[in-house]
Amino acid sequence: MSHDELCESLLTWVQTFNLEANPETVDELTDGVALSQILCQIAPNFFNAGWYGRIKKEVGDNWRIRVSNLKKVLEGVLDFYNDVLGQQIRDFKHPDVSKIAERRDLAEMGRLLQLVLGCAVNCEHKEEYINVIMGMEESVQHAVMNAIQELMSKEMP
Amino acid sequence: MDAGKPGATNEGVLANFFNSLLSKKSGPG
């Protein structure tokens, strides 16, 4: 699966969440704001108001703010895997958030989306998210399945 | 070799996968 296809399929998944501004393109995810809102819905106790408050909402074209937001999202996700799921993702190349912020790199964006997806399908209320995925178009489900399988192959308790 | 094999990407495969995810225990331990 190409990075394009992975990102587009995971964008379709992102659009199933009730977000303040529904992203219409992968580009709109590169400021980290929508991803942070998804994490707050997935695990509100972990990604709490204090954490969300550190995400800057008015990003505009400022790539430094994008990097800062994306770093917080990535660190939060990795902490969630360690502290809540009790898993480490070994051999999974962590997304380079600078490349996402500076040049909207789809390969890196795909990896970050994959990690957020992993939080959703492993969290306490995963049924809710998995059932939504099971209602999606077959091609999207297939892309999501591949993304999860790749992550699962790197998980170490 | 499996190209075109019926059922390789069908609903059953997807349902099996997601149902197995549902039955997987969440969280550590």
| pLDDT tens-digit profile, chain A (157 residues) | 788 999 999 999 999 999 999 999 999 999 999 999 999 999 999 999 999 999 999 998 899 999 999 999 999 999 999 999 998 888 889 999 999 999 999 999 999 999 999 999 999 999 999 999 999 999 999 999 999 999 998 877 7
Q: Nearest Cα to A30, choosing from A2, A67, A56, A55?
A: A67
Q: CA-CA distance, B27 to B29, in Å (whole number)?
A: 7
pLDDT of residue B21: 94
A86, A123, A134 ranked by CB distance to B29: nearest: A86
Asked if B18 reaches chain A (Cβ–Cβ under 8 Å), the answer is yes
A154: alpha, beta or left? (left if phi > 0; alpha if psi -120 to 50): alpha
Of A87, A130, A157, nearest to B21 by CB-CB distance is: A130
ipTM, two decimals, is 0.84
Sequence-separated (6 or more) residues with CB below 8 Å from residue A149: B17
* Cβ-based neighbour number of residue B13 at 10 Å: 15
